[in-house]
Amino acid sequence: MAQANIQVFLGEPFQREQAIKDTIEKLESNATLGKYSLEGHKLAVSELQQALFSPSLFEPGRWVWLRHADEFDAATLLKLLEKNVPPEVHLLIDMEKLDKRSGLYKWLKANAKLNEFAALDRRTLPGKIKSMLQESKVKLSSDAFQYLSTTLPPDLMHIGQEVKKLKLFAKNDELNLEQVQGLLFGGQQANVFQFFDLIGERKPQALPHLRQLLESGEEPSKLFYMLVNHIRSLLLIKALQSEGVRPPDIAKQSGSAPWMVNRRLQQASRWSLEELMQALQQLQEKDVQFKRGQSDPEDALLILILRWTKLVKTAVLQS
């Protein structure tokens, strides 16, 4: 039978942290509790043992937040848990992942409350962004919201920071597309879009432009996911054009402004449909590599720009 005083929080970091903070707030609304926040990667066994089992003469109980618990020895943690944590001690185990075949996972599943949070993807991202904007009382125009949803990476920590930035600026007013673009990129807005135009046109100047953006402080992950959106847009526009759809109708079907369609049709003329499909697949492969820790966005941008602008032979850069 699960112990109500032991909870495990697994998965996506932002949702995990919010759930733990909500849990602590509920616990503290009922009583003044002792507080322990421990880091798994630098935690001595004696410290955890003291936090869990040492009696207190002055507090009715305590909460113990074991952060990065996946960096603490699993076998040692299991041994401590098997000693039966006192009911007045509320243990919050915070970890990104845990092998479901392990003895620790099996014990926790049988004896604790498991809270698992799935990572976001491009399909679920707009709904989550909308929810976060509503919670922060930030209003965006429809085109500004679409831009935000397609520009930001599926990283809730990052999105939360951007929403805070928008809230400071917005107050009670609705933000339009130009304002959102300016807040996301500051004075670099024109340079960022010029960078994507250079990639769309397959010009080698995209590489030094990337270096300038990174040196000025732009985040590689943000640029990477904007690039995904840009290539996806070129592919859609190219596909509609190949079916004989006229530019005004392409604008309606793709949800893009007419001027943007004309610009991207010019860029799409530098690619075949097959090349754009391959480019989108390469971006998806890189995204999977990020999640596995096999690559990072800055390296991916460099490799793909070199590949697409044909500065080096593609065969050398297979990865």
Digit-coded pLDDT (tens) for 190-199 = 578 888 999 9
Residue 148 lies in a domain: yes
Highest mean pLDDT among 104-108, 124-128, 292-296, 305-309: 104-108
Four-residue CA torsion sign, 18, 23, 26, 27:
negative
Distance CA 130, CA 5 (A): 33
Query: What pLDDT, on a 0 to 100 scale, did the predictor assign at position 189?
Result: 56
pTM: 0.56
Which residues neighbour 106 within 8 Å (Cβ) at sequence distance 6 or greater? none
Residue 182 lies in a domain: no
Q: How many CA atoms lie within 13 A of 30 on its CB side?
A: 9
- DSSP symbol at 54: -
Do 126 and 198 reside in the same domain of the chain?
no
Per the CB < 8 A criterion, the answer to whether 278 and 200 are in contact is no
Query: What pLDDT, on a 0 to 100 scale, did the predictor assign at position 29?
Result: 84
Residue 89 lies in a domain: yes
Digit-coded pLDDT (tens) for 130-180 = 999 999 999 998 888 888 887 777 778 878 888 988 988 887 789 988 788
Question: Domain containing 101: what range?
Answer: 6-117
Do 159 and 88 reside in the same domain of the chain?
no
Q: How far is CA 35 from the centre of its chain?
A: 29
Do 23 and 60 reside in the same domain of the chain?
yes
Tally of domains in the chain: 3
